[in-house]
Amino acid sequence: MTQIGDWKYTYASVMGTSHQKVNTPCQDSSKSQVIEDSKGEKVLVAVVSDGAGSAKFSDQGSSLACSLFLKEVTKYLSIDKVIKDLGKVFIENWLDTFQAEILSLANDLEVPIREFACTFLAAVVGNDYAAFFQVGDGAIVLLDTEPESPEENYKWIFWPDKGEFENTTYFITDPKVKKRIKIDDLHRSVDEISLFTDGIQHLTLHYQTQTVHNPFFKPMFNVLRKAERDNQDQLNSSLAKFLNSERVNEKTDDDKTLLLATRRGVENLGIE
């Protein structure tokens, strides 16, 4: 196995065909980065956000959600904090900061804060601990390495959270968002993880059984495991090309975001 902390990752957010037809921007955003905490431990931060299609400035909301989360986690872990300190207090403070910045933007543009509505999914992964946060739909998926699961299978952390009505969900611009935030953690190593927005949920999840569609993720991670580590731009470009391919666009016309991260090498595939 590759050394712990030796992450490779790729992420892309692409415009859906329905947005192309009406000339609206891609409202999805994504970011990933490996940082160090105050003790020198390498930590993967991964975050994606889906702007509401009905919100005029949701692309700005999703972009701010991703950049601000990465910024605040980096700052928090640099001042005598470690990944295990991340939890309810941290994420609620972060939500307050996000909503304050969005309110300032909304006031400048003289629009309701709802015009910046977006979902939020984030994972912060250390050597032997991981924290997860989610508001709304989309999902976080990771490689199941429990002893009772010898096969390489993937499982979700939170099932996509739908709203009270069909085709609705929850957003971090909601004044009551603290009641909607889902928080979980794992006290073990996580070697492979993916985050994605609802634009590709029907490709990645099996709704009848509420399971992960393994045939989607296994080849994607196999490619990433074998990829050159210093080829980030090419990885992101290839992923964007896949998400914008005809075979994907035939199945979804929505904006699409996919983030993949692994610290497994090709030796884990049984390849000589």
pLDDT over 60 (residue 4): no
Q: In terms of Cα–Cα distance, which of 164, 204, 176, 177 is closest to 65?
A: 177
Q: What percent of the chain has pLDDT over 90?
A: 78
d(Cα 72, Cα 79) in Å, to the nearest integer?
Answer: 11
Count of domains forming the chain: 1
Written as six digits, the tokens of 250 are: 């035939």
pLDDT digits (tens, 9 = 90+) for 123-135: 999 999 999 999 9
Using one digit for the tens of pLDDT, what is the confidence trace for 62-103? 999 999 999 999 999 999 889 999 999 999 999 999 999 999
| pLDDT bucket at 203, cuts 50 / 70 / 90 | very high
Terminus-to-terminus CA distance in the chain, angstroms?
14
Residue 165's contacts (CB-CB under 8 Å, 6 or more residues apart) are: none
Q: What local confidence, expressed as pLDDT, does residue 266 receive? A: 61
Confidence of residue 242 (pLDDT cuts 50, 70, 90): very high
Q: Does residue 1 sit within a domain?
A: no
Residue 262: inside a domain, yes or no? yes
pTM of whole model > 0.85? Answer: yes
Looking up tokens 């499982």 gives 155
- Is residue 76 within 8 A of residue 43, CB to CB? The reply is no
Residue-by-residue DSSP string for 60-111 = HHHHHHHHHHHHHHHHHHHSS--GGG-SHHHHHHHHHHHHHHHHHHHHHHT-
Residue 113 is assigned to a structural domain of this protein: yes
Structure tokens at 264: 């497994």
Residue 147 domain-assigned (yes or no): yes
Is the separation of the CB atoms in 32 and 73 below 8 Å? Answer: no
* Residue 104 in domain: yes
Longest dimension (CA), the chain: 61
270 has pLDDT over 50: no
Task: Please give the DSSP secondary-structure letter assigned to residue 223.
Answer: H
Residue 2 lies in a domain: no
Residue with token string 């611009």: 173
Strand partners, 262: 8, 192
| CATH number of domain containing 115 | 3.60.40.10
The pLDDT score that the predictor gives to residue 165 is 57
Which range among 70-74, 114-118, 215-219, 266-270 shows the weakest confidence by mean pLDDT? 266-270
The range of the structural domain enclosing residue 13 comes to 8-269
Cα angle 7, 10, 13 (rounded to 5 degrees) comes to 150
**Res. 21: pLDDT tops 80:** no
Residue-wise pLDDT tens digits, 170-184:
999 999 999 999 999
Q: CA-to-CA distance for 134 and 153, rounded, in angstroms?
A: 22
Closest CA to 35 of 47, 25, 24, 23: 47
